[in-house]
Structure 1
Amino acid sequence: MLEARELSKSFNGVVALDGLNVEVQEGEILCFLGANGAGKTTAINLFLGFLEPTRGEALIKGKSVRSDPVSAREHVAYIPERVALYPDLSGYENLRFFAELAGKRLGESELLECLDTAGLPRDANHNPASTYSKGMQQKVGIACALAKSAEILLLDEPLAGLDPKAANEFCSLLREMRNQGVAGLMATHDLFRAREVASRIGILRDGQLVDVIAAADVTAAQLETLYLEHMHEGREDAA
């Protein structure tokens, strides 16, 4: 579903991502962990086509993001740290607009079903998005992915700023989508939520993928220890 082949990006000679090789299959979520500047967001942006690689290739369902960006992103939904909604439109109106933008003309019942599945409270469906909490905005983002019938999710720090209840609900939705065959690549700082959501966890340091762990093979405490060891090795190498 997603594949990086020697995917690299430099900015004015500074390496942000260096030779990333990774695949994400159907029904799998790969979470990238790493400090600020490790390359997590750069990797997401390369798959989205927001950046052009210095070297290598980002592929979505076998299609090159660089040479065929429209086709490559056809089945992709993007959920950033804060979903951008039109504040004066309701959640329902935002969903209808973004669904139509993706070429999906859904009826009222179908749109409401997407909002229900995403967990937006029914009494909020027709309230202005400006009144929504961040957790509610993220749920509209999930509803947009559902309306689009997205097969792949690209998520950049979607848990940042969510309270524990909202983060738990968001992770539950991601697990349900994963179980239904959706593939995902998520950048996050949250080790514990990453373990809850991910099939595999990749640790990035200084633009390089230094480890990949099956989430089921480690406890939360083991993952934290492993992560801190990699970060400590990075500081030693820089010394």
Structure 2
Amino acid sequence: MLEAKKLTKKFGGLTALDALDLKVETGEVVCLLGANGAGKTTTINLFLGFLEPSSGAAYVNGVSVQQAPLDSKKHLAYIPEQVALYPQLSGIENLDYFLRLTGIRKSRAQLASILKEAGLDEKAARRRASSYSKGMRQKVGIAIALAKDAKALLLDEPLSGLDPSAANALSHSLRALRDEGRAILMATHDVFRAKEIGTRIGIMKAGKLIDAFDASTLDAGEIERIYLAHMHDGADNREKAGAAA
């Protein structure tokens, strides 16, 4: 559903993303771990078509993002770290507005039902978004993805700043979307939630995907030790870190 082929982005003399090869299949969650500047957000922005690749290509459901940006977006939903909503509108009105931009029209009852499925109860859905917490805003983002029937989701640090309850709720929603067969690519700093949600985990550093593995093969502590070994030593020390675990 999502594929990068030698995807590269340079800003002058800086290589923000270096020949990335990556696939995210349906029913799969790939979590990208890495420090700020590792290339995670650049990867997501290239899939969204917000940036033009220096070389290589990004594909969404086989559609080239560069050659057919509008067609590729039909299959996508994007949930950033801070979901931007119109504060004077309610959750229902925000959902209605964003869906109308894509040509989708639904009744208020349908909109409320979708928001409830995303974890936002009817009472909260009728309140102005100015009163929403970050977790509530993200539930509206999930609702947009559900209503749009997006086959692929891109999430950039969605867990940052969430309290444990909100993080658990978001994790539950993402696992449900995964089980429905959606493809999810998520950039995160949260090793433990990556283990909980992800089917595969990739570690990025200086624009390169330097390690990748099946999340089920390691526990969260082992993943953290592998990640820290890469960050501290700058070399492929996965075997060393695994032995230490």
**1:134-176 superposed Cα distances (whole Å, 9 cap, x missing partner):** 1000001101111111111010111111111000100100000
Listed as ranges, the matches of 1:75-154 within 5 Å are 75-154=75-154
Q: Aligned-pair distance for 1:203?
A: 0.3
Aligned partner letter, 1:66: Q
Which residue of 2 is the match for residue 166 of structure 1?
166
Which residue of 1 is the match for residue 240 of structure 2?
none
Moved over 2 A (4+): none
Q: Aligned-pair distance for 1:121?
A: 2.4
Which residue of 2 is the match for residue 232 of structure 1?
232
Which residue of 1 is the match for residue 180 of structure 2?
180
Q: In structure 1, list runs of 5 or more residues that go unmatched.
A: none
Aligned partner letter, 2:128: P
> Is 1:7 aligned to residue 7 of structure 2?
yes
Q: Aligned-pair distance for 1:235?
A: 7.8
Q: Aligned-pair distance for 1:120?
A: 0.7
Which residue of 2 is the match for residue 213 of structure 1?
213
Give me the whole-angstrom Cα distance separating, in 2, the residues matched to 1:127 and 1:196: 32
Aligned partner letter, 1:7: L
Q: Aligned-pair distance for 1:234?
A: 1.5
> Is 1:156 aligned to residue 166 of structure 2?
no
**1:22-73 superposed Cα distances (whole Å, 9 cap, x missing partner):** 1110110111000010000000000000000011000001111011000011
> Sequence identity of aligned pairs in percent?
56
Give me the whole-angstrom Cα distance separating, in 1, the residues matched to 2:218 and 2:73: 33
Q: Report the 3-state secondary structure (helix = DSSP H, G, I; strand = E; otherwise coil) of the residue aligned with 1:103.
A: coil
Stretch of structure 1 that moved more, 226-235 or 24-33:
226-235
Q: In structure 2, list runs of 5 or more residues that go unmatched.
A: 237-245
Give me the whole-angstrom Cα distance separating, in 2, the residues matched to 1:144 and 1:65: 21
Give me the whole-angstrom Cα distance separating, in 2, the residues matched to 1:51 and 1:13: 17
Which residue of 2 is the match for residue 202 of structure 1?
202
Give me the whole-angstrom Cα distance separating, in 1, the residues matched to 2:137 and 2:48: 21
Q: Aligned-pair distance for 1:233?
A: 2.4
TM-score, structure 2 normalization: 0.94
Q: Aligned-pair distance for 1:109?
A: 2.1
Stretch of structure 1 that moved more, 227-236 or 8-17:
227-236
Q: Report the 3-state secondary structure (helix = DSSP H, G, I; strand = E; otherwise coil) of the residue aligned with 1:32.
A: strand
Which residue of 2 is the match for residue 51 of structure 1?
51
TM-score, structure 1 normalization: 0.97
Q: Report the 3-state secondary structure (helix = DSSP H, G, I; strand = E; otherwise coil) of the residue aligned with 1:47.
A: helix
